[in-house]
Amino acid sequence: SKSPSPRQNMPVRYFIMKSSNLQNIEISQQKGIWSTMPSNERKLNGAFWESSMVYLVFSVQGSGHFQGFARMCSSIGCEKSQDWGSAGFGGVFKVEWIRKESIPFQFAHHLHNPWNDNKKVQ
């Protein structure tokens, strides 16, 4: 599926994507794809179709850093990828990496998520 053109007066959505390892993020950066758990697919697809833009901020679990961010460029399909080597992942979707850089969580501690009990973004 192609990304809808940016729509005015539609929200921009942001999601933090946690990865179990750095290798998955490196694969994503090389191939311009991502895959998530099936339980996340409905929310991400809804945001993709109902928002002007969806940004994904990536972090490896336990790293204390963000590894960069990307724009979601397609909805999540049924096709799965063997790149991650786990049967637990859902369909693949396209992403366009905007920034690839390790940034410590402490640089974002001033950001709070009102939809997650106002917890710090990390």
HEC states along 60-97?
A: ECCCCEEEEEEEECCCCCCCCCCCCCCCCCCCEEEEEE
| Triad 120, 28, 11: Cα angle to 5° | 50
**Per-residue pLDDT reduced to its tens digit, 13-31:** 999 999 989 999 999 999 9
**Is the pLDDT higher at 116 or at 9?**
116
Token pair 């997650």 is at which residue? 116
Residue ranges of domains in the chain: 12-120
pLDDT at residue 88 greater than cutoff 90: no
How much is the pTM?
0.83
For CA atoms 24, 54, 112, 117, give the dihedral sign: negative
Mean pLDDT of the chain: 85
Can you name the CATH fold of 12-120? Answer: ph1033 like fold (3.10.590)
**Per-residue pLDDT reduced to its tens digit, 97-121:** 999 988 877 777 677 767 677 777 7
- In contact, 27 and 10? CB cutoff 8 Å: no
